[in-house]
Structure 1
């Protein structure tokens, strides 16, 4: 994935499949749409008809739909898995926030976290924790023979903040491969996958719907493919 940050605060993500995604306020997204139409000569955001090409990505695939519900994404060092998750959420039409993709607004990391998922924050409706085997660790009392893959410590910290802020019923934890899970996090929905985040879509979609998200069945099928 390639990423562009504008002076106005937009984050533009370009995925390997040609999809462009905008992370910005509705006003900035609208301005981007106007600028894009002016540049491309398009008068409609509709994609080009099948079999034709303008040389530009369809605008429909470029601007993430506006929604009052936002998903906060927690992730570690597996950039491929993070990109896969962002693409899945884009296909589902779900607005999401990834701290790494934001400019931070001059805030420290912990201040940014508090603003989005602190106990007094109302910015986040749902949390997805992407647990990937980025670290290795073991209990000193058990010795090095008990070493296991673990998620990054920041992932565990942010997961705890999410539980405190929005409750475990508004969360899903996506677990890649074999990984040691925090023992105090039992009762939270763990959704395993091996090769691609899209393996989690059926169960993730059900969890999102239980939390109040309205999902298009065709988009769910598309995100699973």
Structure 2
């Protein structure tokens, strides 16, 4: 499992979810760089069966000449999301969205799942993983 993240709470929630399903998370920023450029690092650590990208309220942005600012994920997250889609396919990448984050609107067919407090996103992620061929069942003793 691959994961690209910035928000520490969202990262921990996603990591706990992945582990609770018996899968091993690979959190990109925790992997050694070994002198690699960021794109080389992404390429090395994304030989996975499924990728999860976290869109969190890390940046703000607006259209030119507008004062209507919106929360956005970091620009590198959007780039890395696209890279994962190109490498793994849209069917093997899901984006978890925490908060009121603007998502790219020109990528049709991309799965965006809201990280809600009731954790209904777990069921949605389970469905995405099953669709990608994973044998997923709800944990008997959920960690959260």
Q: Aligned residue for 1:201?
A: 122
Larger relative contact order, structure 1 or 2 (CA cutoff 8 Å, min sep 6): 2
Distance 1:147 1:220 in 2: 43
1:110 aligns with 2:34: no
Alpha carbons 1:73, 1:129 under 8 Å: kept: yes
Candidates 164, 169, 179, aligned match of 2:86: 164
Alpha carbons 1:175, 1:193 under 8 Å: kept: yes
1:188 aligns with 2:110: yes
CA separation of 1:178/1:111 partners in 2, compared to 1, >3 Å: closer, same or farther? same
Could you report, residue by residue, the CA deviation over 1:182-214 in whole angstroms, capped at 9, with x for unpaired residues? 012231111112447x44110101100110111
Distance 2:89 2:13 in 1: 25
TM-score, reference length from structure 2: 0.90
Q: Aligned residue for 1:148?
A: 70
CA separation of 1:86/1:220 partners in 2, compared to 1, >3 Å: closer, same or farther? farther
Distance 2:32 2:55 in 1: 24
Size of the aligned set, in residue pairs, is 144
Partner-residue secondary structure (3-state), 2:102: coil
Alpha carbons 1:92, 1:220 under 8 Å: kept: no
**Larger radius of gyration between Structure 1 and Structure 2:** 1
Q: Aligned residue for 1:124?
A: 48
Q: Aligned residue for 1:74?
A: 4
CA separation of 1:113/1:212 partners in 2, compared to 1, >3 Å: closer, same or farther? same
Distance 1:116 1:102 in 2: 8
Could you report, residue by residue, the CA deviation over 1:155-182 in whole angstroms, capped at 9, with x for unpaired residues? 0010010111111111111111211110
Partner-residue secondary structure (3-state), 1:128: strand
Alpha carbons 1:205, 1:220 under 8 Å: kept: no
Cα RMSD of the aligned pairs, angstroms, is 1.9
Distance 1:203 1:99 in 2: 23
TM-score, reference length from structure 1: 0.59
